[in-house]
Amino acid sequence: MTNWVIQQHSYTWYNENAFLNYLRTKLPVIAGGGGTITSVFGRTGTVVATSGDYTFAQIGSTPTTLLGYGITDSITTTAPITGGGVLNSGLTLAWDFTHANTWTGQQTFSTANVIISTGNGIDWQASGTGRGVVLTDLDQGADGLSSPTFRSDGGTNSGVLFRIIPRGTGYVGSLISGMQIYSTDPVADSNNYSYLDIRTTNSSHQIGSYKLGTGTVRDILIAAGNTNQIFVSGQYTSVGIGRTTTTGAFFQITASVAGSASLNLQNGVAPTSPVNGDLWFDGTHLQFRNTNTYQLDQQNNGQAAIVAATGAIANTDTLVVQTPAYPASRFVAGTVVRVTVVGTSTGGSTPGAPIFRLHIGTAGTVADTIVQTITLATAATSGTNIPFTGVFEFTVLTTGASATSGSSMQIIDPGATGIGTTASQFVLGVQTNTFNTTTASLILTFSFQSGATNVSANFSQAFIEIVNK
């Protein structure tokens, strides 16, 4: 029961509803001070409030903060964004952060038009296993692709640097940081998918193609345009240069064209400790290592020949034929060098014993060390321009700084005049000195000395070659 006093009258109501009903019947008189309301909002008679009677702008003393409206969980420019909410918008949503913000928990952007405008930057962080920022349900363009874009807005000329930086020493395992690009949807099928993995670990930087389950290890193609490719096969562990496939080999190079070779080896020096399979170009010759070092180009096979007759060589040690320079350690135990000579000789009244010598050194002259000496029998006392031929063979027996060797020579001539008095001579050589097989640029020089001033030989052909190892 409630007692109320109205206009000096005392009334008693036993409930408030009865009192309110009374007021509704008397309100125009009470509110009007004895008069009635004739119009409001442009309407007359009994006025009923409708939508639009008041606008928000007509409300005075509105709050100036979200807290003033009773909102206590708002996102501010300095507070971290946490939790696992989904931010949806069909329109452009612009956030202008003037402070660096830390986003923890999984934030899912489910919109095609989200613009994040940052002042000092936004730091997206993972706060637990599988946490991070996920862009989902991005609208597709005309090409069928969803294209999140990072564009610099720093001025007329500015760039963008996309960084992936670990915190501290990174993950507990070997992975420090990385990025995975999937070619199939692991959400739709978490047991079977394919992806490209770019990562840095505690020991290396890696780019790899991987799969799970029935997914495919896809090929990797690094291209500049449509023709200049580096192809890495995902199926056969093979690499192709200028190719989009590889066939029958672990490494393939595209075919040469008029303006470009398939492969070019730059000038270099021999490796200090070459291993089998090494290939290099020393600026003059192509070298290959297989237990020993071999010269693969035409100049490097140990062959050399004279292209003009030597002229008459008398009692002065004179070069007949020589090899090109060889790399260090080219000569090994068992290397055999053969020299073939053809010429004519002239005897003399006081003949001596003709001598053939093998010199080894870097000068390529008869001043180099004499390693082997062949001394024939005394020449004939007569004969002019008597033909002869001879074969000299030299064998490396041991290697190193004091390599040893052996040699022999056979001379064939008419046998009565000229260089010899017998039709055939077979002579064992004498090792005059050792030589160093580890010296680079060694040259083999074959020379002749007649043994007497009135005896001579003219060599019209001379050929030197390596016939073994």
Question: pLDDT tens digit string along 240-280?
Answer: 877 777 777 778 888 888 888 888 888 888 888 888 888 88
Do residues 455 and 422 both lie within one domain? yes
Where is average pLDDT lowest: 12-16, 142-146, 219-223, 263-267?
12-16
Mean pLDDT of 82-104: 43
> Quick one: pLDDT at residue 172?
56
Instruction: Flag whether pLDDT at 111 surpasses 50.
Output: no
Do residues 360 and 285 both lie within one domain? no
> Quick one: pLDDT at residue 74?
64
Do residues 358 and 423 both lie within one domain? yes
* Rg, the chain, Cα only: 50
Q: Indicate the number of domains in the chain.
A: 5
Q: Quick check: helix, strand or coil at residue 151?
A: coil
CATH number of the domain that residue 431 is part of: 2.60.120
Where is average pLDDT lowest: 115-129, 218-232, 354-368?
115-129
Do residues 320 and 457 both lie within one domain? yes
> Quick one: pLDDT at residue 170?
58
Task: Using alpha carbons, list the distances in angstroms from residue 21 to 6, 49, 143, 234, 317.
Answer: 15, 19, 68, 86, 146
Q: Strand 107-110 to strand 133-136: parallel, antiparallel, or no bridges (unpaired)? A: parallel
Instruction: Flag whether pLDDT at 135 surpasses 80.
Output: no
- Residue that is last in its domain, among 136, 151, 167: 136
Region class of 89: left (phi > 0), else alpha (psi between -120 and 50), else beta: beta
Mean pLDDT of 287-300: 71
> Quick one: pLDDT at residue 100?
42
Residues above pLDDT 70, as percent of the chain: 68
Most confident of 77-91, 193-207, 215-229, 331-345: 331-345
Beta strands in 245-377 (DSSP E): 251-253, 279-281, 286-290, 292-295, 304-305, 312-313, 318-322, 336-346, 355-361, 369-375
Domain for residue 325, yes or no? Answer: yes
> Quick one: pLDDT at residue 33?
44
pLDDT tens figures, 363-390:
999 999 999 999 999 888 888 899 999 9
Domain that holds residue 282: 268-296
Do residues 354 and 464 both lie within one domain? yes
Mean pLDDT of 19-27: 59
Do residues 463 and 382 both lie within one domain? yes
Mean pLDDT of 334-361: 93
> Quick one: pLDDT at residue 127?
40
Q: Rounded to a whole number, what is the distance in angstroms from the first to the last CA of the chain? A: 128
> Quick one: pLDDT at residue 433?
95
Q: Quick check: helix, strand or coil at residue 232?
A: strand
Give the residue, 352 or 80, on which the prediction is more confident: 352
pLDDT tens figures, 417-448:
778 888 889 999 999 999 999 998 899 999 99
Domain for residue 287, yes or no? Answer: yes
Instruction: Flag whether pLDDT at 134 surpasses 60.
Output: no
- Residue 22 sits at φ, ψ, to 5 deg, of -60, -45
Instruction: Flag whether pLDDT at 112 surpasses 80.
Output: no
Instruction: Flag whether pLDDT at 89 surpasses 60.
Output: no
Give the residue, 429 or 142, on which the prediction is more confident: 429
Domain for residue 57, yes or no? Answer: no
> Quick one: pLDDT at residue 383?
85
What is the C-alpha to C-alpha distance for residues 24 and 6, in angstroms, rounded to an integer? 14
- Residue 30 sits at φ, ψ, to 5 deg, of -65, -50
Do residues 352 and 392 both lie within one domain? yes
Domain for residue 190, yes or no? Answer: yes
Give the single-character DSSP code of 260.
Answer: B
What is the C-alpha to C-alpha distance for residues 12 and 19, in angstroms, rounded to an integer? 9
Do residues 206 and 236 both lie within one domain? yes
Do residues 131 and 180 both lie within one domain? no
Do residues 202 and 122 both lie within one domain? no
What is the C-alpha to C-alpha distance for residues 429 and 372, in angstroms, rounded to an integer? 6
> Quick one: pLDDT at residue 104?
45
Where is average pLDDT lowest: 44-48, 138-142, 410-414?
138-142
> Quick one: pLDDT at residue 327?
81
Give the residue, 41 or 396, on which the prediction is more confident: 396
> Quick one: pLDDT at residue 463?
95
Domain for residue 157, yes or no? Answer: no
Most confident of 55-59, 84-88, 350-354, 425-429: 425-429
For 172-179, the CB contacts below 8 A with 24+ separation are: 174/201, 174/202, 174/203, 175/199, 175/201, 176/200, 176/201, 176/202
> Quick one: pLDDT at residue 92?
38
- Residue that is last in its domain, among 221, 252, 283: 252
Where is average pLDDT lowest: 93-107, 134-148, 154-168?
93-107
> Quick one: pLDDT at residue 274?
87
Domain for residue 242, yes or no? Answer: yes
> Quick one: pLDDT at residue 208?
86
Q: How many CB atoms lie within 10 A of CB 246?
A: 20
> Quick one: pLDDT at residue 26?
57
Q: Which pLDDT band, with edges at 50, 70 and 90, does 121 fall under?
A: very low
Do residues 121 and 226 both lie within one domain? no
pLDDT tens figures, 25-69:
655 444 444 445 567 767 777 777 677 777 777 777 788 887 787
Q: How many CB atoms lie within 10 A of CB 234?
A: 16
Mean pLDDT of 442-457: 93
> Quick one: pLDDT at residue 425?
92
Do residues 277 and 311 both lie within one domain? no
- For the chain, what is the mean pLDDT? 76
Instruction: Flag whether pLDDT at 102 surpasses 80.
Output: no
